Chains A and B, each alone.
Chain A
C-alpha cells in the first residue's frame, strides 16, 4: 500500500445558511486528495455551486471547518487563491477587452511578471485551440470558445487545484468533447480537479471519485464504477408502462408485478410510468432471467441495459437527477 495522497481540501460539517434561513449546504464532510478529479453530482439547487464558491472564499461559511492546502479559507484567502484556478458557472469574461488582453489582465491579479504572463497566455491559447482568436473581441466568440477561454484564464496562475462549476453546461456535444479533452490535459499536468455537473456521462468519464449531493447533503460517495455496481448493478431492467391503457400509465404497479419482484428480492423504482428494476445484489448470471420472469401488463415495452449513475441517483433519492432534461 502506498501512503495516502496529500489532502488538499478538507471540509467538515460545512454549512451555509442564508439570511432567509434557506440552507444551501447542510453539514457536509469531504476531502480532496492531490492529483485526483473529484466530481460533485446532483440536481440543480443541490448546493454544488455554493460548495464551489465556499472553496475560493467567495461565499463565507455559516459553520463548520474548511481548509484548502492546509489553510483556513476564511483566514488566508489570498494565499489560497494564488494557488487556485476558478472556472465559474457563468462566463465572466471581460467584454471590454480582447481574448489576449483578458489573459494578460488576469495574470496581473496573480502578480505575474509580464514576460511570464505572455508565455503562459500563449501556451494556454494553444492548449485550448484559441490561437487564431487572439485578437478577437469576446462578443465574437462562440459559446464553446468562451468556455475554453475561461478555462485558459483559470490556468494563468499555474494552479495546483482547479475548480470547475458546470464546465460543459449549455455546450453542444462537439464543444463538450473539446472541454473533456482539455480537462484530461490539465490532469496530465498534475493538477487536482474539482468539478460539479449534472451530466452523468461527464461524471463517469472524467471523475475518479464522485460525491452525490441532494438538498445540501452528501448522499453517496465513491468511484463511479463501484457506485454503479453496488447501487444499480451491471444490468438494469427498464419497462415503459405509458401505453398499457388508453388513459396512460397506471398510477401504481399491478399487485402481481410488485409481489413477483419482492419474492425474488429485486429492488425497483416506479416513477412517471417507467419501472426501473435493479440488478444490484443479484447473481449476475441469473439476473436477466429473473428480469424476464417479472409479470407485466399487456402493451408494456422493456429493455435490459447497462446500469448508470442516473439509476444510482434515482434509487437512492427516489427522484431523477435532471428533471428538466
Chain B
C-alpha cells in the first residue's frame, strides 16, 4: 500500500450537486415516458393479480380488503424499485460505460457532489413513480385516509434511502453484470420482507429479525400508517431508522465511490 496525498477538500458543494442532479433530470425530461410507464404498469399488474385476484379469496384482511391492505406497501416499494435500479444500473452505466463522472470531476465538481446529485435524482425518480401510482390507487379509493397525501414524501425518503444503498452497491460492483447480486440479495429480499403482502406480525424467529433490519419494512410501515392514519411513536421510530440508514449509506457511497474513482 502507498499513502497518497489525498484531497483535503471533502466537503459537498450543494450548488454543484444540484448541477449533477439537473443533468439527470434533463435526461429524464427527454425520456420520461420510457422510464416512467414501465414502473407504473408493473405495479398496477401486481395490484390486479394480488389485490383483485388473490384478494378475492382473502376476506377481511386486518379490517380492510386485501387491495386496500397492499396499496400503501406497493407505493413505497415502487419508490424502492425505481431508485434501486436507477442508482445501481443507471449509476454504474454513467460511471463506467459513459465516463460521465470522469467528465464531471474535471470541472469544479468533486466526487462528493456527484454522489449527492445521483442520490437526489434517485429520490426524485422514486417519488415521481410512486406518486403516479398513488394517484391511480387513490382514484380507485384504495386509501382510507387523506393522510395518504403524505405518500409522495414517504416515497421520497424511501427512494433516497434505497438510492444510497444502490450507489454503495454500484461502487463495489466489479462489473455491470455483478449488480444482479444487488437485485437478488438486496432489492427482492427487501421487497418480500417489507410486509407489503402480509401482516408483519405473522413472522417470527429469523425472518422476523431479518424483517426488522430490512430498510423497506420501515418504509412500508410508515406508508401504511399514512394511508390508514394510524400514526404513533412507532411511526417516529421507523422514520428515524430510515433517516439513519440514509445518512450511513450516503457516507458509505461517498467513501467507496471516492476509493473507486480516485486512482
Contacts and interface: CB of A to CB of B under 8 A. Distances in A.
The answer on A and B forming one complex is yes
A83 to B, nearest CB: 9
Given A58-B105, A74-B6, A111-B15, A92 B99 contact: yes
A63 B107 CA distance: 24
Contacts of A96: 27, 30-31, 98
B232 interface: no
Contacts of B22: 105, 108
B57 interface: no
A57 interface: yes
Interface string B54-75: 0000000000000000000000
Contacts of B106: 56, 58, 81, 84, 86, 88
Interface string B96-130: 00111011111111100000000000000000000
A56 B100 CA distance: 16
Given A18-B2, A108-B22, A110-B107, A94 B7 contact: no
A90 interface: yes
B13 A105 contact: no
Contact of A105 (B6, B23, B108): B23
Given A108-B19, A108-B23, A62 B100 contact: no
A324 B110 CA distance: 36
B262 A94 contact: no
B33 interface: no
Interface string A77-103: 111011010101010111111000100
A74 B5 contact: yes
Contacts of B110: 77-78
Q: Looking at B13, B105, B106, which has the most chain A CB atoms within 10 Å of its CB? A: B106
Nearest to A96: B27
Interface string A151-192: 000000100000000000000000000000000000000000
Interface string B1-27: 111111111000101100100110011
A120 interface: no
Decide if the interface of chain B is mainly helix, strand, loop or mixed. Answer: loop
A141 B144 CA distance: 55
Nearest to A163: B106
A93 B98 CA distance: 8
Nearest to B18: A108
A18 B2 CA distance: 7
Contact of B19 (A75, A97, A109): A109
A77 B9 contact: yes
A259 B3 CA distance: 52
A75 B9 contact: yes
A85 B74 CA distance: 47
A61 B7 contact: no
Contact of B16 (A57, A76, A95, A109): A109
A77 B8 CA distance: 9
Interface string A2-24: 00000000000000011101000
A260 B26 CA distance: 72
A37 B3 CA distance: 32
Interface in A49-81: 56-63, 74-79, 81
Contact of A97 (B8, B16, B26, B105): B26
B177 to A, nearest CB: 20
Given A19-B2, A106-B103, A157-B107, A95 B98 contact: yes
Nearest to B97: A95
A56 B104 CA distance: 12
B32 to A, nearest CB: 13
Interface string B39-57: 0000000000000000000
A15 to B, nearest CB: 9
A269 B100 CA distance: 46
Given A18-B2, A92-B100, A78 B108 contact: yes
Given A97-B27, A106-B103, A75 B8 contact: yes
A111 B108 contact: yes
B121 to A, nearest CB: 13
A96 B102 CA distance: 15
B2 A109 contact: no
Contacts of B30: 96-97
Contacts of B107: 81-82, 86, 106, 109-110, 157
Given A19-B2, A60-B4, A62-B5, A94 B98 contact: yes
A135 B3 CA distance: 46
Contact of B109 (A62, A92, A109): A109
A160 to B, nearest CB: 14
A111 B99 CA distance: 21
Contact of A61 (B1, B4, B19, B103): B4
Interface in A217-275: none
Counting chain B CB atoms within 10 Å of each CB, which of A79, A88, A92, A109 scores highest? A109
Which of B2, B31, B99 has the most chain A CB atoms inside 10 A of its CB? B2
A134 B181 CA distance: 41
Given A88-B106, A90-B99, A109-B104, 19 more contacts: A18-B2, A19-B1, A58-B106, A59-B262, A59-B263, A60-B6, A62-B3, A63-B5, A74-B8, A75-B7, A78-B108, A81-B106, A82-B108, A86-B106, A92-B100, A92-B102, A105-B19, A108-B22, A109-B16
Interface of A: 17-19, 21, 56-63, 74-79, 81-82, 84, 86, 88, 90, 92-97, 101, 105-106, 108-111, 157
